[in-house]
């Protein structure tokens, strides 16, 4: 017997990047959404790529420790022509995911198109269109670094919408979930050698 799901949860959304990481946190109670926080982590002053990755990990852990989210929703790197940019974005995303896994926070990954579609109804929406819709949904005024912050917030809102659409369990080819190292290893046995094998 399934009633209306009014359980409260906090969702951390992250749009990973190596120059700027956008993030947003929302509280979801049933179908009601409330803005907790949004902002950016700037890394333009760091020359070393490894230091940028360290900053992403540390800032994500700090957000988790500060706000205690129930889950992390993260944007997947988009497929671009520049393989070096994709590699760097993938590393940035990996660091945020590793931070969440280190705190046993569930992770769901969303394709950029899925996020835009979920927020605006248009998979090709501009950053400005997504930001405008997020602003109306959560009823807040513009902030500095507005677009980078709302990109992170959009991922969190997209994740919140999935529960409402699918009644708590959604299956979609444009998202991937992991609840810890064990499930990640199980789903990626061919990518992880010597891990997860029974002795």
Catalytic residue list? 15, 75, 148
Alpha helix positions (H), the chain: 49-67, 83-102, 112-120, 127-138, 146-166, 181-187
Laid out side by side, the sheet with 20-29 consists of 32-42, 20-29, 8-15, 71-75, 106-110, 175-178
Alpha carbon distance, N-terminus to C-terminus of the chain: 40
148 annotated ligand binder: yes
Structure letter (DSSP) for residue 54: H
109 annotated ligand binder: no
For residue 150, count CB atoms less than 10 angstroms from its CB and return exposed for 0-12, middle for 13-18, buried for 19 or more. buried
- Contact by Cβ (8 Å): 133, 153: no
- Report the C-alpha gap between 20 and 35 in whole angstroms: 21
If one counts every other C-beta atom within 10 angstroms of the C-beta of residue 24, the result is 26
15 annotated ligand binder: yes
Residue numbers in the known binding site for Mg(2+) are 15, 75, 148
Residue numbers in the known binding site are 15, 75, 148
């Amino acid at each position: 017997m399934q009633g209306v799901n009014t359980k409260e949860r906090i969702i951390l959304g992250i749009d990973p990047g190596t120059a700027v990481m956008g993030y947003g946190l929302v509280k979801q109670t049933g179908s009601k959404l409330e803005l907790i926080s949004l902002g950016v982590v700037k890394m333009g002053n760091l020359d070393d790529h490894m230091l940028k990755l360290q900053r992403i990990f540390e800032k994500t852990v700090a957000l988790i420790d500060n706000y205690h989210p129930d889950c992390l929703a993260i944007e997947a790197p988009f497929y671009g022509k520049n393989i070096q940019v994709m590699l760097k974005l993938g590393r940035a995303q990996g660091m945020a995911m590793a931070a969440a896994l280190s705190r046993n926070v569930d992770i769901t990954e969303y394709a950029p198109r899925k996020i835009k579609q979920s927020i605006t109804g248009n998979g090709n929406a501009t950053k400005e269109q997504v930001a405008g819709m997020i602003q109306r949904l959560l009823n807040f005024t513009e902030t500095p670094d507005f677009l980078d912050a709302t990109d992170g917030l959009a991922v969190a809102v997209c994740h919140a919408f999935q529960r409402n659409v699918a009644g708590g369990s959604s299956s979609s080819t444009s998202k991937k979930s992991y609840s810890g190292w064990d499930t990640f290893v199980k789903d990626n046995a061919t990518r992880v050698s010597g891990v997860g094998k029974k002795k």
